[in-house]
Amino acid sequence: MVADSQTVLQSTVNSQSLQHGPKLLELFREAMRVRHYSRRTEETYCSWVKRYVHFHNMRHPKEMREPEINAFLTHLAVEEKVSASTQNQALSALLFLYRHVIGKEIGDLGHLIRARKPSHLPVVLTRDEVKALLVQLAGVKWLMASLMYGAGLRLMECLRLRVQDIDFSSNEILVRDGKGAKDRITMLPESLKKPLADHLKQIKSLHDKDLAEGWGRVLLPGALDRKYPNAPAEWRWQWVFPQEHRWKNAKTGEEGRHHMDESLIQKAVKAAVFHAQLTKRATCHTFRHSFATHLLEGGYDIRTVQELLGHNDVRTTMIYTHVLNRGPSGVRSPVDCL
């Protein structure tokens, strides 16, 4: 049934003027890749275009404009009760479609019903809770969680670290192509240098073994593998956290290693939260929230924290300053004075 739906969608989104050319979704993907959007964003935006077309009974987007976009986004907010960020994501996908693929600007959307944007504070662990959580992890999972907390890394930033991104002499980690396609430098915690160096020795042995067996090549960003054909096999380009087993291309027989799958560390952290008996809804991203909050608690300048986190606007970083205003915890209840 799903395959049939996909076939119907692909045939429906074929523009009459492009009957013998690329299909709309193919043009959409190509436009995103030319602009260096991440694969994850590409898949998310494509899913919104499909939902938009399905919502309007498989009509081609070229036949629809502001009223249809308004109806779809309002449906998301009113009927499906999505969050404000989800509705904005859907709008961004449709704006990209019309601007860069169909070639039309979207005007006033009229009386669009916006999803309510709640004001949530980030979940932050205390230092004791971080300790309790890390105690429940071991091996490479402990090392990854410690890096996310100790350097303020996002999960995918941690997974995509390459050997050359770790500078032991300067105690720095270079985060390449982070959120918003930005590079930044953050700290390498002193206490993690030895465990990380020991881990890299094991990975080096694994890489040497792969090379001896005729493999040991990784995917490089952009077209670097064409510019530097030998680079994919070089040690400095290898993942810091590679997957345990090599993948195999069924057609070519080629084998290699991606970085570790994100679900493995996510499940490990979820289990650690349970075994540590924490009542907070902590995830991998909670380590980053806790990193920022604990730095501000320690008296570090907010601009420094902003640079370490890679925020464009200091107002994004200021959400963590709620810890400096102790709120109810700084007020003594009158019942305690009886």
Q: What are the tens digits of pLDDT across the range 29-85?
A: 999 988 888 888 999 999 999 999 999 999 999 888 888 898 999 999 888 888 888
d(CA 219, CA 112): 43
| Burial letters 22-53, b for 16+ CB under 10 A, else e | ebbbebbbebbeeeebeeeeeeebbebbbbbb
Catalogue the active-site residues: 154, 179, 285, 288, 311, 320
Question: Cα–Cα distance between 336 and 327 in angstroms, integer?
Answer: 17
DSSP state of 186: E
Q: Return the top range by mean pLDDT from 9-13, 237-241, 332-336.
A: 237-241
Do 88 and 124 lie in one domain? The reply is: no
pLDDT bin (cut points 50, 70, 90) of residue 316 is confident
* CA–CA distances in Å: residue 139 to residues 112, 199, 232, 266: 50, 9, 27, 15
Q: How far is the first Cα of the chain from the last one, in angstroms, to the nearest whole number?
A: 69
pLDDT at site 248: 80
Q: In the prediction, which pLDDT does 169 show? A: 93
pTM of the predicted model as reported, rounded to 2 decimal places:
0.72
Q: What mean pLDDT is predicted for residues 215-238?
A: 87
3-class secondary-structure state, position 20: coil
Confidence of residue 330 (pLDDT cuts 50, 70, 90): low
The pLDDT value given to residue 320: 84
Which carries the bigger pLDDT value, residue 332 or residue 171?
171
> Residue for token digits 């909670």?
286
Q: Which domain range does residue 311 map to?
A: 119-329
Same structural domain, 152 and 266: yes
| CB neighbour list of residue 63: distance below 8 Å, 6 or more residues apart | none
335 falls within a domain: no
For residue 232, being part of any structural domain is answered with: yes
How far from 119 is each of 84, 230, 283, CA to CA, in Å? 11, 50, 19
Count the domains in the chain: 2
HSE-up of residue 147 (Cα within 13 Å, Cβ side): 31
- Looking at the structure, do residues 61 and 126 belong to the same domain, yes or no? no
Are 145 and 69 members of one domain? no
pLDDT confidence of residue 285? 95
For 288, residues 6+ apart whose C-beta sits below 8 A from its C-beta are 148, 149, 152, 153, 154, 309
Same domain, 37 and 149: no
Token pair 């039309």 in the structure block, residue: 104
Assigned domain for 58 exists: yes
The residue among 39, 69, 101 that closes a domain is 101
Please tell me whether residues 209 and 248 are part of one structural domain.
Answer: yes
Same domain, 186 and 306: yes
Q: Do residues 65 and 124 share a domain?
A: no
* Domain-located, residue 4: no
What residues are paired with 259 via a beta bridge?
242
Query: Which pLDDT tens digit goes with each residue over 172-223?
Result: 999 998 777 788 999 999 999 999 999 999 999 999 999 999 898 888 887 7
